Amino acid sequence: MAVIIVLAGLILSTSGYVQKKGNRSRAEAEIAAMSAALESYKADNGIYPRGISISTPPTGMPNYSLAATGTDDLNAIVNGDPNDKRYQDASRYLYEQLSGDADLDLVVNNGNKSYFTFKESQLALIK
């Protein structure tokens, strides 16, 4: 009986580690994919995406305020909170430039190039 309890304890403690390792690997893969998309954008445009979002929400979408700041106003050390307006404005602009979805309807606009396909779980504030 004691052996079974010890083995069960080992299995339970290992499962948390495996889940954390899987989450870390998934995050690393997403970062690598976004980094590749940024490099592809830079190769086409000569510069990384920088600017200010001018989009307005499509009908039926949750309202958000128009961007007052752009990517150059974001300091990740100071503005690391995803609820901070500067963070949201910069993130929205990056989404627009990498996805090709300028009007935030989750569809690539005609004439725009998509460098990165965002997963639904990455678009919590846009959808």
| Domains of the chain, residue spans | 25-122
Q: Which of 104, 69, 63 lies closest to 85 in space, CA to CA?
A: 69
CB-based contacts of 109: which residues, under 8 Å, 6+ apart? Answer: 100, 101, 102, 103
Model confidence pLDDT, tens digit, residues 15-51: 778 888 898 999 999 999 999 999 999 999 998 988 8
Q: What is the mean pLDDT of residues 71-81?
A: 77
Model confidence pLDDT, tens digit, residues 88-124: 788 888 888 999 988 888 888 888 899 999 888 787 6
Q: What is the pTM of this model?
A: 0.72
Contact between residue 123 and residue 106 where contact means Cβ atoms under 8 Å apart = yes
Query: What band does 53 get if pLDDT is binned at 50, 70 and 90?
Result: confident
- The more confidently predicted of residues 6 and 101 is 101
pLDDT at 92: 83
pLDDT at 3: 76
pLDDT at 127: 44
Count the helix, strand and coil residues of the chain and give each as a percent rounded to the nearest 5.
50, 0, 50
- The more confidently predicted of residues 12 and 30 is 30
